[in-house]
């Protein structure tokens, strides 16, 4: 199954992988966000996802956009969906659509949580472009937490983006529309 391969590959990149069903999603998210000082939520994020969160919500909306300094606050997390996920590479793909927010939201906070539904997982990059509603939109492709290595190959995380990436894989028996 593509979603299983995606989870395995994303885990290889040191992303935290969490599996649940749709009814379990709010409680899984509440657990992952239990220690957050606040949670950034992009426009179009399903309200059910934030039900029961203890941390205050910081909406990033067109008249009240958060600044890079706001997004760099200690303990801040961002919660998003994705446009698609690529099984072969373990990559989540965001296209600034509803529930994904602008690129800055997923590059500055130390912790990014992304919800991936089974139906949004495609096999490979060519399938990704066939699945996107508008492949000309700007894409952010994320394979694990931000990381780099020094000359001695010591891995350093969080240099160019979140130190922690948690992916919640939502398994749904059947759905009419992909998320």
**% of the chain exceeding 70 in pLDDT:** 90
| End-to-end Cα separation, the chain, in angstroms | 18
Pairing assessment for the beta strands 155-157 and 147-149 based on DSSP bridges: antiparallel
**Model pTM?**
0.89
CB 109, CB 41: distance < 8 Å: no
- Specify if 51 maps to a domain: no
Q: Is 16 within the bounds of a domain? A: yes
pLDDT of residue 152: 79
pLDDT band at 159 (very low <50, low <70, confident <90, very high): low
- Could you tell me if 113 and 15 are in contact, meaning their C-beta atoms sit under 8 angstroms apart? no
Q: Is residue 126 part of a domain?
A: yes
C-alpha 176, offset from chain centre: 22
Q: The domain that contains 92 carries what CATH number?
A: 3.40.50.10420
């Amino acid at each position: 199954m593509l979603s299983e391969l995606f989870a395995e590959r994303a885990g290889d990149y040191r992303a935290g992988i969490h599996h649940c069903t749709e009814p379990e999603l709010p409680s899984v998210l509440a657990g992952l966000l239990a220690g957050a000082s606040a949670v950034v939520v992009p426009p179009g994020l399903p309200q059910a996802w934030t039900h029961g969160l203890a941390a205050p919500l910081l909406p990033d909306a067109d008249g009240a956009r958060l600044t890079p300094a706001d997004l760099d606050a200690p303990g801040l997390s961002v919660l998003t969906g994705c446009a698609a996920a690529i099984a072969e590479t373990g990559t989540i793909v965001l296209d600034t659509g509803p529930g994904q927010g602008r690129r800055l939201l997923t590059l500055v906070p130390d912790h990014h949580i992304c919800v991936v539904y089974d139906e949004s997982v495609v096999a490979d990059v060519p399938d990704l472009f066939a699945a996107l509603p508008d492949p000309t939109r700007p894409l952010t492709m994320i394979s694990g937490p931000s990381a780099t290595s020094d000359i001695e190959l010591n891995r350093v995380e969080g240099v160019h983006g979140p130190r922690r990436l948690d992916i919640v894989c939502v398994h749904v028996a059947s759905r009419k529309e992909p998320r």
